[in-house]
Each structure stands twice: as C-alpha cells, then as structure tokens.
Amino acid sequence: MSDASAPVPTPVSLTTAAAAQGSAQARATLRGVLRLQLLANGLGLAVVILYLRILVPQASAGARGQLNLTVFGGYLVVNLVIFLPVNVVLLRRAVVWVRNGTTPTDRQRWLVFRLPLLETVSALVAWLGGATAFGVINTGVRREAFGLGLAGFVTCTLLYLLLEGHFRPVFALALIDAELPKQRRDVLPRLMLAWFLGSGLPLITIGLLPLLVTERLSENRFSWLALASLLGGGAVMAAAAVSVARPLGRVRQALRQVERGDFDIHVPVDDLGELGRLAEGVNDLVEGLRERDALKTLFEHQVGPAQLAVLGAGADRVGERRRVTVLFVDLQGYTRFSERHMPEDVVAMLNRFFRVVVAAVTAEGGWVNKFEGDAALCIFGAPEDTPDHAARALRAAAAIPPTLAADREVLPAGVGVATGDVLAGFVGTPERYEYTVIGDVVNLASRLCEGAKEQRSGVLASETTVIESGLGDEWQHAGSFRVRGRRERAEVYTLPSGRRRDRGRRE
C-alpha cells in the first residue's frame, strides 16, 4: 500500500492551457492572411499569362494587335485597392475578440467560420469581373476570356482551401466550449469541390475547346494545356488532401500518446464537420481516461494495490479460505497524547507512524488492510498467495519497533503477529464493501499486540507463526500468554533483549 500521506493527483483540465496556446497561434494566423491572398492571386495571374501567351493560340493577326492585357491587369489592381480594405475591415471585426482575449459572441463565431468563404468570394468577383471586362474590350477573344474565368475559379478554390487551413487556429479558439453542428458534413463536399474545380472543370474545358476555337489546335498545344490542367488540378487536390490529412495526423499522434499512457494531451477542435467531431471525441476519450487514472490512484491510496487488483478481478466473488499471517500494530499512550496536543499535531504524528508501518509491511510484500484510529491491521498471504507469509510478517514486525524508536516524534507501539486460517473476501453491502479477512487469528493478533506493549522488544508472535516461518533461531520463547476470551493460554515468542532501543514513553 502506498504512503497515506502522499499527495493524490487530481484530473487536470487542459482547456485553459489550450486556450492560451490557441490565442497566441490565432494572433499569429491573422498576420498571414494577406500573404496567402497575394500568393494565390499571384499564382493565378502567372497561369493567365501562361495561358494567353503559350497555351492558347493567338487570335488572328488583326486581332492580336488589339489584344489588351492592360485592362485586365488594371482591373485587378483596382479591385485589389477596393477589396483589400474591405477584407481587412471584415477580418478585424470577425477576430477582434482574439486580440482582446475575450470569448467570442455567437455572431463573431458565425463570421469567423465564414471568413475563408467571404475572403474568397471577393477574389472570385474580381476575377470574373476582369474576365468579362477583358472579353468586352477585346474583340474575338472569347476563348481567352473563358480561360481567364477558368483560371479565376481554380485560383479561388486554391485560395479557399489555403485560407481554411490557415484559419484553423482561430477556429480552434472559437470552438472552445462551443457546440459543434451535429449534421454538418465537410470532408466529402470539400474533396468533391476540389476535384471538380481542380480536375473536372479543366477536363470539361479541354472537351469544349473545339466549340470555342474555330481553328485547329496543334497536338503540341493540347499537350501543354493538359499539362497545365494536371498541375493546377494537382495543386488544388493537394491543398484539399492536406486540409483532411493534417487533422487526422494530429488525432493519430494523440492516440499514440494515449497508448503510451500519456494523457496530458489536447487535440485542437478546428473543424465544424466530421474532423471536428473526431477531435472532440478523442478529447472526451482522453479526459475520461485521465479521470479514471486519477480515480484509480485515489482509490489505490485508500485500499491499496492488492485490494484494487482483487476488485478488478470481480467484486462479486465469494470468500475463500486462506492460510495467512496477521500483523496488528497499535500505538502506546495514544489517548494521553491526543488529550495534550492539538489535533493537527496528533494527525502529523499518526501520519509519521503509518508511514513507518506501510513501508515495513510493503517491503515484505504484505498489505495494510485498514487503519483503525491509532492502529493498523496488516495481512500477509492474501489477497496474493505468498507461501512464506509467516516469515515475511515476522521480518516486518521486527523492523517496525526500532524504526519507530529512531523517530522521537512518534509514540512507541506494540506489534502482535499470529498465523491461522481465515475466510478472505468481501464484506459489506452492494453500496459499500471492502476486502478483508475474517477469523479467530485476527482477534489473536490484536490481543498479542496489547501484550507486546509490556515487552521490551515491543513484539509478540504466536508459536504457530514462529514454527511456520522457520525463524525459530531468531526468536525466543516468552512463555504462555492469557488471551482474553479463551480458556487455553497461547505460547508466544518475542525478539531477544536489545533488539529494541530503550527510551521513555513520550507523553
């Protein structure tokens, strides 16, 4: 059994720590939104230039001279100047609670969860408007205008996926102590959207080219167009795959830590769909395991590891007859001590006393069955079967008095040891029960403990115990002992003189 005075760990919630870490990550996230928008739109503009200059054949010689890319570029610049401040205001309003370190309102949560879509819609409007303006100003360039619109769809899909992944720390912070939508599905729509805009739409475009282009396309240009569609589709699908794989990777890592017995983990809940519910389920699982582990530790301190193992094997098992050795230890002069000292001093002395008893009994493989005020009942041979239980008990009994004598803050004690047959099992009601041993040997050990207080060694052991232990050479016969409630006297043994240090009784 563990030390009764040792601290018992309690379940620790990681919500506060997760919120503090999430707040720092969320603030860092907001600073990277503009960079992502410039990156995605810059890649889209590069695709447009490649599309117009290399992949799609130019218009007729007369129209080639009239092709005006300046209008499209100017349009994007104007939209950047207009939409960028709008996006900044929208972003600040949605995440003001992050900077202030406060809990978001329901409206702020709604706005945060739709930030990637709102930021993407503004970019898509700019792309489609630019493609339309380009087609109106330039004549005979409908395929080029169509290509601009297609590039805008692919670019904005990539932008949405990047922003959604980038905003996950903010989502995780907003979802702390918030309910997730029960019927929301995100994984399948996200992957299907990525497939359609990254692969399906480019393939449809290739199929429609004969209708959009009057002249015959060369095989070389078809190859370039297929390559561009492959790269663009791959980029979009990669972003979608990462948005799914990253949360799953965190869950897998968390489960590995749980397998190793590490429950000090918290998986960020940063998705409103299935992935968010999966992370939430893992956190609930870990919290339950953490509480169970703390409860097991607390219960182990109350009843001991041995009894806990028996409970785990099944609390409904009937009692069984066992041959055991019982060690009973009781303080001497406790009543007078408690009358003359404050309760805090009494408890401190008892804890020191029980610490000595637990250490001595545990070292010999015994089990402290219960504390009874200023006494302790210890069992050797149950619930774990130990054939040499008598020898173990005598060694523990010999170790207790000198250890107590070395600590002048603790009262002396008497130790009684007896061996016999008992019924070991559970006693009590279904509402409250305990594992203990029932038999005359328990009463005998208690009576020997009282008699041991009159012995110089402080220990008395029954003859049966000494014989079964094989340690008769180390113990000396102390005569016949009258056991209250018995007709026959008991032959008892004690430690030779000098095994216990002489000292006056502490008052």
Three-state DSSP string of 373-395? CCEEEEEECCCCCCCCHHHHHHH
Asked if 52 and 149 count as a contact pair (C-beta separation under 8 A), the reply is no
> ∠ CA(269), CA(264), CA(179), 5° rounding?
25
Q: Contact, 271 vs 168, CB < 8 A? A: yes
User: How far is residue 161 from each of residues 27, 174, 214, 241, measured CA to CA in Å?
Assistant: 20, 19, 36, 10
Token representation of residue 479: 């005569």
**Side-chain-facing half-sphere of 20: CA atoms under 13 Å:** 4
Phi, psi of 378 (to 5 degrees): -120, 140
| Residue pair 76/40 in contact by the 8 Å Cβ criterion | no
pLDDT of residue 437: 87
Q: Which own/partner contact pairs does 203-212 have at CB distance under 8 Å and 24+ positions apart?
A: 203/229, 205/146, 205/147, 205/150, 205/229, 209/143, 212/142, 212/143, 212/146
| Beta bridge partners of residue 372, listed in sequence order | 375
CA atoms within 13 A on the CB side of 180: 22
pLDDT digits (tens, 9 = 90+) for 226-263: 676 677 677 777 777 777 888 888 888 888 888 887 88
Given this model, what pLDDT does residue 13 score?
A: 42
Question: How far is residue 355's CA from residue 361's CA, in Å, rounded to a whole number?
Answer: 10
For 473, which DSSP code? G
Burial class (CB in 10 A: 0-12, 13-18, 19+), 238: middle
CA-nearest of 2, 5, 10 to 287 is 10
How remote is the C-alpha of 379 from its chain's centroid? Answer: 37
479 sits in the region (left: phi over 0; alpha: psi -120 to 50; else beta) called: left
Q: What is the pLDDT of residues 73-113, one digit of tens each?
A: 666 676 667 676 777 777 777 777 777 777 788 888 888 88
- Of 128, 162, 131, 170, the residue nearest 37 (C-alpha): 162
Task: Kindly give, in sequence order, each residue whose CB lies less than 8 Å from that of residue 260, ignoring residues fewer than 6 positions away.
Answer: none
326 touches 377 (CB < 8 A): yes
Q: How far apart are CA 127 and CA 149, in angstroms?
A: 7
* Strand 413-429 with 320-331, pairing: antiparallel
Beta strands 459-462 and 413-429, pairing class: parallel
Angle made by CA atoms 498, 500, 501, in degrees to the nearest 5: 90
Classified as helix, coil or strand, 501 is coil
User: Which residue from 397, 440, 441 is spatially nearest to 418, judged by alpha carbons?
Assistant: 441
Residue 9: the pLDDT is 40
CATH of 305-494 among 1.10.1740.10, 3.30.70.1230, 3.90.480.20, 3.40.50.300? 3.30.70.1230
Query: Residue 406: CB partners within 8 Å, gap ≥ 6?
Result: 501
CATH 3.30.70.1230-classified regions of the chain: 305-494
- For the entire predicted model, the pTM comes to 0.50
SS (H, E, C) 316-374: CCCCEEEEEEEEEEEECCHHHHHHHCCHHHHHHHHHHHHHHHHHHHHHCCCEEEEEECC
Q: Residue 130 gets which letter from DSSP? A: H
- The residues, any chain, with a CB within 8 Å of residue 301's CB and separated by 6 or more, are 2, 4, 6, 8
| Segments of the chain scoring below 50 in pLDDT | 1-22, 55, 59-66, 315-316, 498-507
- What lies within 8 Å, CB to CB, of 9 at 6+ separation is 294, 297
Query: Which pLDDT value is given to residue 380?
Result: 95
Pairing mode, strands 459-462 and 490-494: antiparallel
Cβ pair 47, 224 in contact under 8 A: no
Q: Strands, DSSP E only, in 386-431?
A: 413-429
Cβ atoms of residues 278 and 263 within 8 Å: no
Residue-level pLDDT at 305: 60
